[in-house]
Amino acid sequence: MKIAPLYKELKKHRRFNPILVHTGQHYDKEMSKAFFDDLRMPRPDIYLGVGSGTHAVQTSRIMVQFERICLAEKPDLVIVVGDVNSTLACAVVAAKLNVLVAHVEAGLRSFDKEMPEETNRKLTDHISDFLFTTCVDANVNLRKEGISKKRIYFVGNVMIDSLLQHIEIAAMSTILERLGLTGASRVARYAVVTLHRPSNVDSKVVFNAILRTLNKIAVELPVVFPAHPRTVKQTNKFHLMKLVDYGDNTIDYSDGRRKVKVISPLGYLDFLWLMKNAALVLTDSGGIQEETTILGVPCITIRNNTERLITISQGTNMLAGNDPKQILKAAGQILKSGKRRKRIPKYWDGKAASRIVAVLSQKIP
């Protein structure tokens, strides 16, 4: 979602010849193909296929393979996005080879050293030549860390570029009909959940408590949970499948039992349309906090902190941690008020990619 608008914008300029590299860190083939198709992206020029592993193993595999790519292709610039292991690995390789590095989504900070993503963010920022930020808070964070303002460019949010470019296409999705969430020409009231962070799904005690809390919310309205294969694996590992209704069939509460509805992962367009029409979203994802802000959909973040503070100060996001009482309290407030607070952050206007390419056109020799 972050690369798509950038790639398309770069292709508009003759002086740029972008090479698309897929590291394979997010290695589910069906999920990956669905997103490339939905975003109308070409197949990657290069696929590394590094797969899963510990942080050290995954990062080192990417570095070894990406170094070969850089030595062969001799790029003038390497663009990395976000805060995953691929981001740091490719940035380090490029920097060591004296290749310019641009970090898109720079400066975000959760101030939580236990988050591997926080390490990735900070290290990538300090070795990058171009730091493209999504909000003023990110600029402040970078300056406090001693990074020169000459390297910082406030351009907006490329995630929102993708959302705004695809929202009309997403309206053609049939996901609501497939799940039985429409009837008599109106959409049913429902909630959407995503969970994948180790702090939430790698502890049986924590994951069990979250699922039981979600089932309490399901008493009020259907709760749809498109679950990543790894999250489903943890559900099975901890013998928690009895707490959810698993399968891609229509939601059916006719037997009186209201459980979280776990379905297979969705493509970008299906998920965007499901999220847009939700009464409430509960998540531990960073990007979804931003997307719900633009869509005006109330969001509860099941984390103790967030690097996207602007989604709380200006958006629709509430921080609840993984404390069942706080999650239920936040959900109750949202469902009772029904309000969709919406204030669009500056430069979240669908033009971030064009601003980035404008900077690169001017600054790269």
Q: Is 196 in the active site?
A: yes
Average pLDDT, the chain: 93
For residue 31, what pLDDT band results from cuts at 50, 70 and 90? low
Nearest to 250 by CA among 302, 199, 180: 180
Which helix (H) or strand (E) is 361 found in, with range? helix 352-363
Domains of the chain (ranges plus CATH)?
Answer: 3-157+348-363 (3.40.50.2000), 169-337 (3.40.50.2000)
Nearest to 9 by CA among 354, 358, 359, 362: 354
For residue 188, what pLDDT band results from cuts at 50, 70 and 90? confident
pLDDT of residue 5: 97
Cα 84 to Cα 37: distance, rounded to the nearest angstrom: 22
Within 10 Å of residue 19's Cβ, how many Cβ atoms? 11
- pLDDT tens across 251-280, in order? 887 766 789 999 999 999 999 999 999 999
pLDDT of residue 255: 67
Distances (CA, A) of 269 to 34, 163, 178, 261: 9, 9, 14, 19
Answer yes or no: are the C-beta atoms of 296 and 251 closer than 8 Å.
no
pTM, 2 dp: 0.94
How confident is the model over 343-363, as a mean pLDDT?
96
**Structure tokens given for 172:** 């053609």
Answer yes or no: are the C-beta atoms of 194 and 284 closer than 8 Å.
yes
Q: Any idea which of 23-37, 78-92, 106-120, 294-308 has the lowest mean pLDDT?
A: 23-37
**Helices 158-170 and 352-363: angle between axes, nearest 10 degrees:** 140
Q: Is the dihedral of CA 81, 157, 334, 191 positive or negative?
A: negative
Cα 73 to Cα 198: distance, rounded to the nearest angstrom: 36
Answer yes or no: are the C-beta atoms of 240 and 211 closer than 8 Å.
yes
Q: Where are the alpha helices (DSSP H) in 174-303?
A: 175-178, 198-201, 204-218, 229-237, 268-276, 286-295
Cα 5 to Cα 113: distance, rounded to the nearest angstrom: 31
List of residues 6+ apart from 143 with CB closer than 8 A: 149, 152
The dihedral formed by the CA atoms of 192, 197, 200 and 202, expressed in degrees to the nearest 10 = 130
pLDDT of residue 25: 72
Catalytic option among 26, 103, 166, 196: 196
Cα 327 to Cα 297: distance, rounded to the nearest angstrom: 16
Answer yes or no: are the C-beta atoms of 103 and 128 closer than 8 Å.
yes
